[in-house]
């Protein structure tokens, strides 16, 4: 039994990874650089500085990377028309069920706290979380456990009391290393077999998690 739930954000709660990846690939194409999806997915789940370092290598030259970064930011961080990343299937109902049952929820994301607040506000679920922990608040990003440890502490819970929900290998490893059980819900890059084998469950969507709330949280009646 668990008494709290901690969620990754990008690729798990919201469908953002594809849009972000395609924006980087398009920026590379415009600058004569071919970024393959199979290479890009290696950065998923990592901290922003680590992502930028890996992308800079893909672009081959710092000036080219900086041009690409400027174009990506213009599209993804527009102050007048920022992208709205839709909620993943089952996210709204699962969060509602947990909140209605009094289970505290937190976000532990590699994105910054500001981005977490903005993205979840746009889809109307930020108020459902008791705490958020962003990648900009820890020295090392996932797969280091720091961001999950921070989220648990802000809930006033020990890691063993928290069930983590993740889509990526790096995120799942971070939660495991923090001392949490993990439910994997793969997105762009499925975790390897050993990560899935170490998970409490491997689901096709968050809709499937709702059926298991009684076993995981002792919730008998769910109201979405």
Query: Any idea which fold 4-15+88-217 has?
Result: Rossmann fold (3.40.50)
User: Which residue ranges of the chain lie beneath pLDDT 70?
Assistant: 220-224
pLDDT of residue 190: 82
Burial letters 196-219, b for 16+ CB under 10 A, else e:
beebbbbbeebebbbeebeebbeb
pLDDT of residue 23: 93
pLDDT of residue 223: 43
Q: Where are the domains of the chain?
A: 4-15+88-217, 17-76
Report which of 194, 169, 5 is spatially closest to residue 184, judged by C-alpha positions.
169
Cβ distance 44 to 189 under 8 Å? Answer: yes
């Amino acid at each position: 039994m668990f008494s709290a739930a901690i969620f990754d954000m990008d690729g798990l709660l919201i469908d953002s990874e594809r849009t972000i990846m395609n924006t980087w690939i398009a920026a590379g194409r415009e600058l004569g650089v071919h970024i393959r999806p199979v290479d890009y997915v290696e950065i998923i789940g990592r901290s922003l500085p680590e992502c930028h370092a890996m992308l800079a290598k893909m672009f081959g030259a710092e000036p080219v990377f900086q041009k690409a970064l400027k174009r990506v930011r213009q599209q993804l961080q527009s102050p007048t028309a920022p992208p709205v990343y839709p909620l993943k299937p089952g996210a709204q109902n699962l969060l509602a069920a947990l909140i209605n049952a009094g289970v505290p929820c937190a976000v532990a994301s590699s994105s910054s706290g500001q981005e977490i607040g903005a993205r979840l506000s746009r889809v109307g679920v930020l108020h459902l979380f008791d705490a958020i922990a962003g990648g900009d608040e820890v020295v090392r990003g996932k797969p280091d456990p720091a961001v999950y440890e921070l989220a648990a502490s802000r809930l006033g819970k020990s890691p063993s009391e928290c069930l983590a929900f993740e889509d990526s290998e790096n995120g799942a490893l971070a939660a495991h290393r923090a001392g949490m059980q993990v439910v994997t819900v793969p997105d762009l890059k499925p975790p390897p077999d050993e990560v899935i084998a170490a998970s409490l469950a491997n689901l096709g969507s968050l809709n499937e998690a709702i059926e298991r709330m009684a076993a995981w949280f002792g919730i008998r009646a769910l109201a979405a």
